[in-house]
């Protein structure tokens, strides 16, 4: 097509005068093939003409391999005020979104379940969330575009020291409890989260099923308060509450690292319509996100200061000890380390999805949606730009 257009333009130039039929109004994509003298006259005006064309069209245009055009629309991002959401906060604080031309609005939620609800209601464009994301992905309504925080510890189950669960002692794997003592136990923690998943895996370790215990649904802070005031038999929780339980003398009966072969990897997923219509916005968002991740990995002191300041603003009390533990068990991908042959994005979500199918928590008919949601192209574009 370009060759045809170039021939047409050359023919027109033979008939018309240069002033009457100048090539400055030719489409930008054809200018590289225009006659040399015409290109020389108009190359300085090409960016302005392309920008005007884009503004008139009112649509997002990718004008080249290295050029991305923000849509100008607000990108609403849902996340949590913890290590999972910290890169989003860091990117906002450092001005990366603004520098990229993005208008990002961040909404904070307590857990992943209300993030799923907000996504389903169309109130969010992007979710930077945790394990509950698998239920959203199973609907087929969303596109998985990136991996989030890497968790290797800090997600644990605790019992009271004088309880039969703690008194049962540890087995050869270091996991405390027994089938006899645990049958019929109640565990406090939010449903559809890593806490719920860990509770199931903990019981499975002793040959028990979901029919053998009750999961009492409470958000993490509420579960912590309820447990320390005497409610529930055990609690499945995460940082900073697990660290506080440890310091208060409660017994850790299981840690996520004891019952999982691989670390927990959180998610970045988006509305399908946003993936289709605002591709440049999402590539830019990923660039900002992973740049912030690199900041957090490169400077521990700055990470500590930023995190504790933000958590306090969001009403979450973190001690220096809590932060020590978090830094020890939470890592971040960078643009260089995310989505490699060894760490393909979405792998953890597909594993969790398969597990939940076994537990009848996701239907076999919906599970293929989890795998189909994974789209590597956004990160491929971001990584290609970073390599230049």
- DSSP code string of 236-253: EE-TTHHHHHHHTT-EEE
By three-state DSSP, how is residue 232 classified?
A: coil
CA gap 125, 106 in Å, rounded: 10
Q: Do 244 and 186 form a contact (C-beta atoms < 8 A)?
A: no
Q: Return the CATH number of 156-259, one of 3.30.1330.10, 3.40.1800.10, 3.40.50.300, 3.40.190.10.
A: 3.40.190.10
Identify the pLDDT of residue 194. Answer: 87
Identify the pLDDT of residue 149. Answer: 96
- Within the chain, where are the H helices? 2-15, 36-42, 46-57, 86-93, 96-99, 112-120, 133-137, 164-167, 179-182, 194-205, 220-228, 241-247, 256-259, 272-277, 279-298, 300-313, 320-329, 347-358, 367-372, 377-386
Q: What is the token pair recorded at 111?
A: 């857990």
CA gap 286, 303 in Å, rounded: 19
CA gap 138, 353 in Å, rounded: 8
Helix, strand, coil % in the chain, rounded to nearest 5: 50, 15, 35
Write down the residue that tokens 């450092």 correspond to: 94
Query: Could you tell me which residues come within 8 angstroms of residue 58 by beta carbon, excluding any fewer than 6 positions away?
Result: none
pTM of the model: 0.78
Q: What is the token pair recorded at 194?
A: 């890593």
Identify the pLDDT of residue 107. Answer: 98
Q: How many CB atoms are located within 10 Å of the residue 99 CB?
A: 12
List the one residue out of 200, 199, 217 whose CA is nearest residue 110. 217
- CATH number of the domain at 74-150+264-386, please? 3.40.190.10
Identify the pLDDT of residue 28. Answer: 36
By three-state DSSP, how is residue 147 classified?
A: strand
Cα torsion 309, 310, 316, 322 to 10°: value is: -60
In the chain, which residues fall in CATH 3.40.190.10?
74-150+264-386, 156-259
Give residue 340's Cα distance to chain centre. 16
Mean pLDDT, the chain cut into blocks of 10 residues (388 residues total): 39 38 37 39 43 42 66 98 97 98 97 96 98 97 97 95 97 96 97 90 96 96 97 96 96 91 93 98 98 98 97 94 95 97 95 93 97 98 96
CA gap 379, 146 in Å, rounded: 7
Identify the pLDDT of residue 138. Answer: 98
Identify the pLDDT of residue 3. Answer: 38
Give residue 133's Cα distance to chain centre. 9
Identify the pLDDT of residue 10. Answer: 39
Identify the pLDDT of residue 193. Answer: 86
Q: Which residues share a beta bridge with 343?
A: none
Q: How many CB atoms are located within 10 Å of the residue 73 CB?
A: 14
Cα torsion 11, 15, 18, 20 to 10°: value is: -110
Query: Could you tell me which residues come within 8 angstroms of residue 84 by beta carbon, excluding any fewer than 6 positions away?
Result: 128, 129, 130, 148, 149, 266
């Amino acid at each position: 097509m370009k060759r045809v257009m170039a021939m047409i333009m050359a023919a027109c130039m033979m008939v018309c005068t240069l002033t009457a039929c100048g090539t400055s109004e030719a489409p930008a994509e054809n200018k590289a093939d225009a006659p040399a003298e015409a290109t020389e006259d108009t190359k300085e005006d090409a960016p302005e003409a392309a920008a005007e064309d884009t503004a008139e069209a009112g649509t997002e245009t990718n004008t080249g391999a290295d050029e991305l055009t923000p849509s100008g629309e607000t990108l609403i991002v849902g996340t949590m005020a913890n290590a999972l959401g910290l890169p989003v906060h860091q990117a906002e604080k450092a001005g990366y979104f603004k520098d990229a031309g993005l208008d990002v609005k961040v909404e904070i939620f307590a857990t992943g379940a209300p993030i799923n609800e907000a996504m389903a209601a169309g109130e969010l464009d992007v979710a930077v969330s945790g394990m509950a994301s698998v239920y959203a992905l199973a609907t087929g309504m969303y596109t998985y575009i990136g991996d989030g925080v890497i968790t290797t510890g800090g997600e644990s189950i605790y019992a009271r020291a004088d309880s039969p669960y703690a008194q049962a002692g540890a087995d050869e794997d270091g996991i405390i409890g027994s089938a006899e003592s645990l049958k019929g136990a109640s565990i406090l923690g939010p449903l559809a989260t890593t806490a719920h998943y860990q509770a199931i895996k903990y019981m499975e370790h002793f040959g028990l099923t979901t029919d053998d215990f009750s999961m009492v649904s409470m958000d993490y802070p509420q579960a912590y308060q309820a447990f320390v005031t005497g409610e529930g038999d055990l609690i499945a929780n995460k940082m900073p509450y697990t660290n506080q339980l440890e310091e208060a003398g409660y017994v850790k009966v299981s840690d996520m690292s004891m019952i999982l072969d691989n670390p927990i990897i959180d998610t970045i997923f988006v509305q399908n319509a946003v993936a289709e219509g605002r591709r440049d916005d999402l590539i830019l968002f990923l660039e900002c996100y992973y740049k912030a991740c690199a900041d957090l990995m490169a400077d521990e002191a700055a990470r500590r200061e930023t995190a504790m300041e933000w958590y306090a603003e969001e009403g979450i009390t973190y001690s220096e000890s809590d932060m020590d533990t978090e830094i020890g068990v939470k890592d971040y991908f960078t643009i260089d380390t995310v989505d490699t042959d060894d760490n393909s994005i979405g792998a953890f979500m597909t594993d969790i999805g398969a597990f939940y199918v076994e537990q009848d928590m996701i239907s076999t008919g919906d599970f293929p949606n989890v795998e189909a949601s994974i789209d590597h192209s956004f990160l491929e574009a971001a990584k290609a730009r970073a390599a230049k």
